Structure formats: C-alpha cells, structure tokens
Amino acid sequence: MRAATARSPLLAILAITVIPVLSHLTIAATSAIRLSFHPSLGGLFKLGVVTVSALTHWGIYASLLAGFALTLRPGREPLITGMARRLHGGLDAELAAYTRKVTIAWSLFFASQLTLSVALFCFAPLIIWSFFVNILDIPLVAAMFAIEYAVRLRCLRNPPRHSLATIISMVAEAAPKARKPVPEA
C-alpha cells in the first residue's frame, strides 16, 4: 500500500507545484531578513530554503543539459532521436534531422535556464531569482513543450502525434530502474 501511494500522480503533481510555491513564499516573506556572517535563526532558515532551491534548480538543469548535449557529440545518437526511434522503429531522414534539432533546442533551453538562474542569483534581488526558479520554472518548461509541438506540426510533412501518457511511459521505461534489495538468506 505504501509503494502505491508513493507513485501517485497526484502526489507528484503536488510536489512539483506546491513545494516551489512554498519555497518562494518563504523567501518572499523573509525578504527583510538579511543574510550576513552573523545570521539570525530566521536568516539561517532562509539560507536553507535558498540553498535547497538553488542547488535543486541548478542540479536539475545541469544534469538535463549534460544528458541532452552529450548525445550531440559526433558518433552519438541525439537523445530525442533515440526516443523517437523507440516509439517509431526506423526514422526517415526528415524526422531524424528534426529530432536532432529538437535535442539542440532543449539543450539550449536548459543552458539558458541555468545561465539565467545563476545570473539572477548573483545580480538581481533574491525575490526576483526566487520567482524565476520557483514560480516560472514549470510554465517555461510547458511553454517549451508547446512551442516544440507547434514547430513539429508546421515543419514536418507527416508529424508524429503521441499522447502525453505515451511519452511519459516511454521516458519512465528509459529511466534507470531502482534495484530491489536482495533478501538475505
């Protein structure tokens, strides 16, 4: 029963939406607290929330950037091309070229998210950075998916159409599986 609860899509959606909003609200509510070499208890709490938000955001985007961009090296199959090949079997030249460009586009998106996050963190007020990282993150990813879909429909003669559930299932199958512990004898 516990394992089924952990895999609930509702819990995942709540974690993806509620936790960043709470993080941003915490940072906004404590915006008057200055972080210095002698922080107060409130300052330490704020520092913890900021650190978790920053490291999570930067870690996710650095990993995604590396995961996508490294597949663009010569002799490698671009990540999106490999995913399309798993969905369709063989790919025609038009779809293979398009999926390579999509892999490049996602790599540029991840690089820009990471760069902008670090630049805002270093040079903008903390509340602006927090809004970008905690509130705008998911809508920007959704916008990227929507833009790619619109471009696909416009650029390909016979664009593949898959449900979001099919794509999520394929990504889940491609993800490394957690190993179950071997019971001791």
pLDDT tens string 42-66 = 555 556 667 777 888 899 999 999 9
Residue 132 lies in a domain: yes
Residue 178 lies in a domain: no
Q: What is the pTM of this model?
A: 0.73
CA 131-67-53 angle, 5° bins: 25
Residue 117 lies in a domain: yes
Residue 185 lies in a domain: no
Residue 25 confidence (pLDDT) = 67
Residue 184 lies in a domain: no
Residue 161 lies in a domain: yes
Residue 77 lies in a domain: yes
Least confident of 88-92, 115-119, 170-174: 170-174
132 neighbors 116 (Cβ within 8 angstroms): yes
Residue 36 lies in a domain: yes
- Which domain range does residue 138 map to? 9-173
CA–CA gap between residue 39 and residue 51 (Å, rounded): 15
Q: Is the pLDDT of residue 5 over 60?
A: no
101 neighbors 154 (Cβ within 8 angstroms): no
Domain count along the chain: 1
144-160 confidence digits (pLDDT tens): 999 998 999 898 887 77
